Amino acid sequence: MTTFLRIYLLALFGFVFLPIVVSLLFSFNSDRFPTLPMSGFTTIWYETIFADPDFWRAARNSLIVSSCTAVIATFLGFCTAYTDYRYTFRGKSLFLAIILLPPTIPLIIIALAMLAWFAPVGMSGQVWSIIAAHTVLTAPFAMAIIRLRLNQIDESLEAAAWNLGASEWRAMREVILPFTRPAILSSLFLTAAVSFDEFTVAWFVSGLNKTLPVHVLEIVQGTIDPQVNAIGTLVFGISITLVVISQLLIFFRLQREAA
């Protein structure tokens, strides 16, 4: 059984990562067409994209969008997670259902809805319209990560801070924030990664302010160009780094607590 599971796991990872590895390999291949055997090593595709002002514009947009999204989504996620942890009120389950709804809606529907909503109010095609859309998409992830952390808190901890002379805001700063810090950092990295990668919604609402994934699509639509492999490799590299940092933050925290 374990042998079977091992093979299954290998196959699974193979299907997920092989295309990415192939893309990485061909980003260094001197031939324009992705055929085997590879013709020779080159960094020309990277040089091409680094020389392209469109790439830099898209990269800058992606960076702004993902970092702003991460901060806003994590802030909102923290607020909702804390509200859920601390308070009970009428309609709380409805409140939570609405907050956690976005990931269950197909991206294309959200994208169309965003466009339909942004266009008439004149918010379409701006960098911050992508930020707004991505915040809606990623805030539920932030909420989930931080809520999980708050699950582990000893409920007396906050009351102990009040008892020792901390006002509610002070207790939030001195106890709740330090306690949830690993989750907050983890959420920042994860939401940044999701936003950095996200294509569908960005494509609909970005207009002329393309992000990197949108830029990639536009190249692909024109020609077969190994630049795409190079950009893809860079985007993947950044995203996976963010996700890995996010996971490590959770993992080390759990390990330290288990010790």
Site for another protein in 220-259 (CB under 8 A): 257
Interface pick for another protein out of 35, 39, 163, 247 (rule CB under 8 A): 163
Nearer to another protein, 104 or 257 (CB): 257
SS3 assignment for 155-189: CHHHHHHHHCCCCHHHHHHHHHHHHHHHHHHHHHH
40 binds another protein, rule: CB under 8 A? no
Reported residue count of the chain is 259
Q: Which amino acid type is present at position 118?
A: F
Nearer to another protein, 54 or 155 (CB): 155
88 binds another protein, rule: CB under 8 A? no
For the bound state, the minimum distance from the C-beta of residue 36 to another protein, rounded and expressed in Å, comes to: 54
The answer to whether residues 27 and 44 touch, using CB atoms and an 8 Å cutoff, is no
Number of residues this chain uses to bind another protein (CB under 8 A): 21
Q: Cβ of 103: how many Cβ atoms within 10 Å? A: 14
Nearer to another protein, 244 or 254 (CB): 254
Inter-CA distances, 116 with 28, 30, 211, Å: 41, 43, 20
Nearer to another protein, 52 or 174 (CB): 174
Q: Which amino acid type is present at position 79?
A: C
Nearer to another protein, 95 or 179 (CB): 179
73 binds another protein, rule: CB under 8 A? no
Residue appearing with tokens 């290998």: 10
Query: For residue 29, what are the β-bridge partners?
Result: 41
For the bound state, the minimum distance from the C-beta of residue 177 to another protein, rounded and expressed in Å, comes to: 10
How far, in Å, CA of 128 to CA of 114, rounded?
13
Tell me the window of 37-45, 71-79, 108-116, 157-165 that interacts with another protein (CB under 8 A). Answer: 157-165
95 binds another protein, rule: CB under 8 A? no
Say if residue 131 is exposed, middle or buried (CB neighbours under 10 Å; 0-12, 13-18, 19+): buried
The answer to whether residues 250 and 227 touch, using CB atoms and an 8 Å cutoff, is no
Interface pick for another protein out of 10, 11, 105, 160 (rule CB under 8 A): 160
Interface pick for another protein out of 81, 161, 190, 192 (rule CB under 8 A): 161
Site for another protein in 167-206 (CB under 8 A): 167-168, 170-171, 174-175, 178-179, 181
The answer to whether residues 146 and 77 touch, using CB atoms and an 8 Å cutoff, is yes
Nearer to another protein, 171 or 192 (CB): 171
Token pair for 80 = 């909702």
- In a 13 Å sphere around the CA of 131, the CA atoms on its Cβ side amount to 17
For the bound state, the minimum distance from the C-beta of residue 146 to another protein, rounded and expressed in Å, comes to: 16
Q: Which amino acid type is present at position 75?
A: F
Nearer to another protein, 153 or 234 (CB): 153
Give the residues lining the site for another protein (CB under 8 A): 154, 156-157, 159-168, 170-171, 174-175, 178-179, 181, 257
